[in-house]
Amino acid sequence: MEQYNATSFFDAMFLTPPYPSSLEVMIFAVLQNQINKEGCSATSGYVGASADYWGQVAQLADSYPNIRLIYEIAFNASQGYLGTYGLTCFDTLVQSFAPYPSVYGIGVEGEYTGPAVNLTSGEMQVAMADVTAAGKLFVSYYVPAAIIPQGGYDIAHTNFPAQGDQLSSLQKADNYTIGLSSGYYDGFAFPSTFTCPIGPNDVANGDLTNEPQGYNQCVVTTELSTALTLPGYERQFLELVPGFSSSGEFVGSSGMVTNQLWDNPVLRSWVWTDPGYAGNFTLSL
């Protein structure tokens, strides 16, 4: 599979139908640098590569006022305020992304930072102060609402349409929610075998081989129509996470041979041609 440089990724993601205007990115560079013992300067290892790549994407996005990027950073919460791979390294990336107007929000990637064990409300407050001082909203992912500081936000998450997360999870929200991410990064047969209407418990809940999971046109329609029933402030961001195709590679909207489903022209056309989409969601162009 070919690799996307920043320009080919940006053009395929934002400048082809359905012209989405938002992107939520989870950045694990700090944890990888720790594994490799590479320190945490803005030019070191994976941290440097992430700052460069996602900085290039942001620089391109700056020319399109409708595009809003959210970068969520995982770090070693056990290193807290002082450790090299704790909030010190979080700040390195915050400062790298601060100059770009298209970077709308920066926050904590909580699933791998480990909120259930290590992340504290004090650390979240320090992280938020760092982000707000950089002129960005503090928007996190997979962080318990109990430790999100006042004035911070989150992107709620559901695995729907996969792994047992059922239809009702498309309405998942808490007091801090401004969006929803749906799906996760794994291999799925494409297209899936869902038929509309999707019942409340139709997603695979054990037999992942024979029960439906993954994206098809019915799932896209269900996600869009459900979002439109909810308060606008809860669904400022609707992030579809279709994963990658386990059914083989295809020629993407980028023109590259790939298995990355965000680049699949058929899936993208389902969003673009859905009657509930273009008139209700902000587009990049």
User: Does 70 reside within a domain?
Assistant: yes
Based on the structure, what is the number of domains in the chain? 1
Inter-axis angle of helices 265-273 and 217-227, to 10 degrees?
Answer: 40
Average of per-residue pLDDT across 2-30: 96
User: Does 48 reside within a domain?
Assistant: yes
State the pairing for strand pair 153-158/103-108: unpaired
Is the distance from CB of 214 to CB of 242 less than 8 angstroms?
yes
Q: Residue 239 has what pLDDT?
A: 98
Q: Residue 115 has what pLDDT?
A: 67
Q: Which domain holds residue 16?
A: 1-151
User: Does 278 reside within a domain?
Assistant: no
Residue 1 pLDDT > 50: no
Average of per-residue pLDDT across 66-94: 94
Q: Distances in Å between the alpha carbon of 161 and those of 25, 181, 188, 219?
A: 20, 11, 10, 7
* pLDDT tens per residue, range 24-76: 999 999 999 999 999 999 999 999 999 999 999 999 999 999 999 999 999 99
Q: Residue 118 has what pLDDT?
A: 80
Question: Which CATH number characterizes residue 143's domain?
Answer: 3.80.30
- Average model confidence (pLDDT) for the chain? 95
Average of per-residue pLDDT across 137-154: 96
pTM, 2 dp = 0.96
Residue 21 pLDDT > 90: yes
Average of per-residue pLDDT across 191-218: 93
Dmax over Cα atoms in the chain, in whole Å?
52
Q: Residue 209 has what pLDDT?
A: 77
Residue 79 pLDDT > 90: no
User: Does 283 reside within a domain?
Assistant: no
Strand-by-strand arrangement of the 68-73 sheet: 22-27, 68-73, 103-108, 137-141, 153-158, 177-183, 237-241
> Could you give phi then psi for residue 222, rounded to 5 degrees?
-65, -45
User: Does 57 reside within a domain?
Assistant: yes
Average of per-residue pLDDT across 265-274: 98
Average of per-residue pLDDT across 145-150: 96
The angle subtended at Cα 266 by Cα 261 and Cα 270, nearest 5°, is: 105
User: Does 47 reside within a domain?
Assistant: yes
Average of per-residue pLDDT across 248-253: 97
* pLDDT tens per residue, range 152-180: 999 999 999 999 899 999 999 999 999 99
Beta strands in 29-169 (DSSP E): 68-73, 103-108, 137-141, 153-158
Which residues have C-beta within 8 Å of that of residue 94, sequence separation ≥ 6?
Answer: 73, 106, 130, 131, 134, 136
* pLDDT tens per residue, range 119-141: 899 999 999 999 999 999 999 99
Other CB atoms within 10 Å distance of the CB of residue 164: 15
- DSSP code of residue 91: H
User: Does 279 reside within a domain?
Assistant: no
Q: What burial class does residue 233 get, using C-beta atoms within 10 Å of its C-beta: 0-12 exposed, 13-18 middle, 19+ buried? A: exposed
User: Does 74 reside within a domain?
Assistant: yes
Element (H, E) at 94: helix 87-97
Q: How confident is the model at residue 116 (pLDDT cuts 50, 70, 90)?
A: low
